[in-house]
Amino acid sequence: MNVNELPEKYRALLAENHSLREENEILKARLGITDPPRPEPPQDPENHLSLAIAVLESPGKNPQPGTPGQFDTTEKIRLFMSLFKGREDVYAKRWQNRANRTGYAPVCRNEWKSGLCRKPAVKCINCLHQSYEALDEKVIESHLRGNIVVGLYPLRRDETCYLLAVDFDEQGWQGDCATLREVCVAFGIPVALERSRSGNGAHVWFFFEEQIPASLARKFGSALLTCAMNRRHELTFKSYDRFFPNQDTLPKGGLGNLIALPLQKAAREQGNSIFLDEKFRPYEDQWGFLAGVGRLSAEAIGGLIPQLSPGSEMGALRKDDEEAEKPWETVRMTWSGSDFPQEVRLVKANMLYIEKAGISQRGLNAIKRLAAFGNPEFYKAQALRLPTYDKPRIISCSEETPTYLCLPRGCETDVIDLLDEAGVKAEWLDHTCPGRTINVAFNGSMREEQIPAAEELLKHDTGVLSATTAFGKTVIAAKLIAERKTNTLILTHRRQLLSQWTARLTEFLEIDETLPVLEKKRGRKKKQSLIGQIGAGKFCPSGIIDIAIMQSVSRGNDVKEWVKHYGMVIVDECHHVPAFSFEQILKGVHAKTVYGLTATPTRQDGHHPIIFMHCGPIRYRVDARKQAEKRPFDHYVIPRLTGFRAPPGAEGNDPSIQQLYAAIAVNEPRNERIAEDVLRCFQNGGNALILTERTAHVALLAAKLRESIPDVISLTGGKGAKETREALDRVSSSPADRPLTLIATGRYIGEGFDEPRLDTLFLAMPISWKGTLQQYAGRLHRLCENKREVRIYDYIDIHVPMLEKMYHKRLAGYASIGYKARAANVPDDSMNIIFDSTTFLPVYKNDLLNAAREIMIVSPFVTKRRVMQMLPFLNAALDRKVKAIVVTRPAADFRERDPQTLEATLALLVAAGIQVIFKSNIHQKFAICDQKIVWYGSINLLSFGRAEESIMRLENPSIADELLGSIQK
């Protein structure tokens, strides 16, 4: 061997020796083997080799530092800064006030300077006078000497990082760290473990050879944790949120999260902020340890991720219905026969209790993941470059006791499937409450479409009915009670639903039960109702059939004892179950049978898997579009374009939705237009419901409407019970021949309000979520004599990009519930319908071929493929002397795209004789034929978009004029 190769060979042998020693110690600890104490060697036995190698490497120079005392101050600082690298243009410093509160703040040269610093009124990140100090050698030296505590921002401006750290500070942190270290040893990953400043936790550090994308670093960390969870199931999902950096992208205007740098003198003197070996003992030479820490390359990390966690760095998680339909994207865990005993005992009570005895760590981890799912809110915030500190990456609904792993009851099928796949016999113990038998019969008739829904639910002890408003969910609930014949608790979230449920159950059930007459504290005896009420100031349970407001059945996190004694629980509007307080109630329910009822099983925040974990899967789903076809009236959306623009000073500054709502509420022209439409509806005998999102807007519109319409009834929250009851009585007692005009906030009346006469809805403020739209539209869908059509007036703020995008989402929502588009005050046209990206093209092409004078296409984005597809139809129009105009963005608007390709595509249009007009930053998407036929929606007509995009077709010259005006400045 060449003598020049000795140093490298020696280092490799030392690294291998160290790795094997660590692995040996871990295995001994797991087997409970304790070595007898051995005297420590007086000095490094390899010291003479180190000196010899140092001489061979660099004759005449000092040997490499590696033993105590061999680093001077400069070398320590350089070594420290070579490892702990992040943002160098800014750093944070720890502060402590007189009340002993502590925190970190970026160090600014203008801090507390009069006229410049406006803390605490203005946050540093929003300050116009911020002048951050750089992180340099002097700052690091001050930190190491104990003068200050420095916080490092690991996420750099270009969204790369030089390191990754994982924070463990909960009970069991030492076991978590030991397991993670065990994984690192097994895969040859260099790692450094630092006891935190508090001494009650640790930071596990990984260092990189070069700056790598934060997304890659975090994938690596996630894969490490996922692998470690197969060795220690107690490792919590919260660990995925304890990374530094904590997101892939830099928040707008933010610096990302920070981490306190190690080896600060004051903490060191307390035995904290120092690096520990595999037995959690401090290394004798901290600097020698750091000098020997290995660093990972981007290539090595890329290769490690699939080895650590095949399929996905986050491992197998619960999928919702839509994800489950994509089996090629499903990550499956693998296990061997040794992961489970031959038989597993399971107890079914308020939750599923799986006995842990005999199940391996990997098996327990697999079971735990059946009740965990990825949090869409985290990924949405990250994509929007918003902070993610309060949004967990994974939401878990499992719990654990020393003996059992506890999952929500809706996971029963998943648990059975997992055990069957593993070839394990399940021993079930049923400790649910069967309730007491009640004498009850169904007193009514069911519509044909309701019968299979009830039959399907009755096949199971748990499940969700997903059905549109006015489908008759309360009738089906009555049928379930009559068939199950067990005492039942109905849970709802709003007090106004109590009376509705009582009325419906009284109508559809015959209850042959006798209640004892209870004496009041004073006065005469009071007879209870067979249908009890709990909530809204009353506690009158019958123990037979009771209706309760969810807020009345728990105190803090504790569910009241009487909830446990019902044999069946029906959760109305069960899409609210993911709210923490409601979820706790379901965790306390012992009923044998649990059903959920909802019109909108999908939640905007993506937390709907929690519904199914507690209430069971969807057993029967009613198709909203098909249901609309069965109703004896037509469904129309009437688009009304407004001239509203973002208020002065907000344009270009990304106004928030709340700022826009505030401006909309006081916009006089917009309010005047709404009032005119409502007045016209009233004059035509329509029964109107005006919904907005702000109480102040209700007051403004109500005052304006009362100038022309008598008996305008406003309904908002915050009123007393008496005033609310009087308003609702006015609605119910209103003569049938007098048109109704109600104005309310969507939160108050958007779901659960029942007035069959309503036929016209005015969306006075924009919304985007399809579930909210379904709830609002559902107010019109109750059957009523002489109801021939229902209409939704939708006010589209086309000049504000955010608000126009919200309309695009509503448009898809309208299509999903069976609505067609129609202009105001024109007869129905069978072609005025809402299309999606897969259905619009044939009709759109036909309109182009039939154009007689002019075609204008406004498409912010243009692709060659779509242009080549549409050119034959445009050329045919040009041959007939039809003028063709395309309005699009100039190439300069697309810095990230290839400008030559775009310009070549646009040249194809020009060469064909099409007039191309450039408008920078336009966002509108529409086409107009002969200034009359309008195609408007979220589809770029000269590029390809997403499958969920929608577009409507209208024949209306006034809407065409308004759209043309929206792109003219």
pLDDT of residue 215: 96
pLDDT of residue 148: 95
Q: What's the mean pLDDT when you consider all of the chain?
A: 86
Nearest Cα residue to 180 out of 146, 202, 204: 204
**If DSSP codes are grouped into helix, strand and coil, which group holds residue 678?**
helix
Model confidence at 968, in pLDDT bands (50, 70, 90)?
A: confident
Give the C-alpha separation, 858 to 922, whole Å.
9
Range with lowest mean pLDDT among 217-231, 521-535, 785-799: 521-535
How is the chain split into domains, by residue range?
Answer: 1-34, 76-91+134-308, 321-430, 440-514+527-622, 628-821, 834-966
pLDDT of residue 780: 93
pLDDT at 933 over 80: yes
Nearest Cα residue to 636 out of 956, 323, 940: 956
As a whole-number percent, the residues of the chain with pLDDT over 70 amount to 87
Model confidence at 37, in pLDDT bands (50, 70, 90)?
A: very low
The reported pTM is 0.81
pLDDT at 951 over 70: yes
CATH number of 628-821: 3.40.50.300
Give the C-alpha separation, 6 to 55, whole Å.
11
pLDDT of residue 750: 59
Residue 798 makes CB contacts below 8 A (sequence gap 6+) with 641, 642, 804, 807, 924, 962, 963, 966
The neighbouring-strand residues paired with 558 are 555
Q: What is the DSSP letter of 561?
A: G
pLDDT at 581 over 50: yes
Average pLDDT over residues 96-121: 86
Q: What is the pLDDT of residues 343-361, one digit of tens each?
A: 999 999 999 999 999 999 9
The tokens of 721 are what? 């019970």
Q: What is the pLDDT of residues 195-231, one digit of tens each?
A: 999 899 999 999 999 999 999 999 999 999 999 999 9
- Regarding predicted confidence, which is higher, 194 or 833? 194
- Name the pairing type of β-strands 883-888 and 854-858: parallel
Within this chain, domains 440-514+527-622 and 834-966 share the same CATH topology: no
Which top CATH class is 834-966?
alpha beta
Q: What is the pLDDT of residues 667-720, one digit of tens each?
A: 999 999 999 999 999 999 999 999 999 999 999 999 999 999 988 999 887 776
The tokens of 742 are what? 């109600």
Give the C-alpha separation, 264 to 273, whole Å.
7
Q: What is the pLDDT of residues 737-748, one digit of tens each?
A: 889 999 999 887
Q: What is the pLDDT of residues 620-657, one digit of tens each?
A: 999 998 899 889 999 999 999 999 988 765 445 578 88
Q: What is the pLDDT of residues 899-911, one digit of tens each?
A: 788 888 899 999 9
* CATH for 76-91+134-308, options being 1.20.120, 3.90.920, 1.10.3210, 3.40.1350: 3.90.920
- Write the secondary structure of 828-859 as one string of H (helix), E (strand) and C (coil): CCCCCCEEECCCCHHHHHHHHHHCCCEEEEEC
Range with lowest mean pLDDT among 66-75, 458-467, 537-546, 838-847: 66-75
In terms of average pLDDT, the best of 35-49, 271-285, 313-327, 946-960 is 271-285
Count helices and strands in the chain by DSSP H and E runs: 30, 42
Class of residue 825 by CB neighbours under 10 A (exposed 0-12, middle 13-18, buried 19+) = exposed
pLDDT of residue 45: 36
Q: What is the pLDDT of residues 486-518, one digit of tens each?
A: 999 999 988 878 888 999 999 999 999 887 665
- Is residue 828 within 8 Å of residue 819, measured between CB atoms? no
pLDDT at 465 over 90: yes
Residue 548 makes CB contacts below 8 A (sequence gap 6+) with 489, 490, 491, 492, 533, 534, 535, 541
pLDDT of residue 254: 85
pLDDT at 829 over 70: no
pLDDT at 47 over 80: no
609: preceding bond cis by omega (within 30 degrees): no
Q: What is the pLDDT of residues 154-178, one digit of tens each?
A: 999 999 999 999 999 888 899 999 9
* CATH for 321-430, options being 2.60.120, 3.30.780, 3.30.70, 1.10.3300: 3.30.780
pLDDT at 2 over 80: no
440-514+527-622 has which fold? Rossmann fold (3.40.50)
Q: What is the pLDDT of residues 431-463, one digit of tens each?
A: 999 999 999 999 989 999 999 999 999 999 999
Residue-level length of the chain: 969
120: preceding bond cis by omega (within 30 degrees): yes
pLDDT of residue 252: 81
pLDDT of residue 656: 83
When computed from its CA atoms, the radius of gyration of the chain, rounded to whole angstroms, is 34
pLDDT of residue 385: 80
pLDDT of residue 519: 57
> How many other β-carbons are positioned within 10 Å of the β-carbon of residue 866?
18
Average pLDDT over residues 713-741: 82
Angle at 156 between CA 155 and CA 160, to 5 degrees: 80
Model confidence at 17, in pLDDT bands (50, 70, 90)?
A: low
- Write the secondary structure of 512-547 as one string of H (helix), E (strand) and C (coil): CCCCCCECCCCCCCECCCCEEEEECCEEECCCCEEE
As a whole-number percent, the residues of the chain with pLDDT over 90 amount to 62
pLDDT at 386 over 70: yes
> How many other β-carbons are positioned within 10 Å of the β-carbon of residue 424?
19
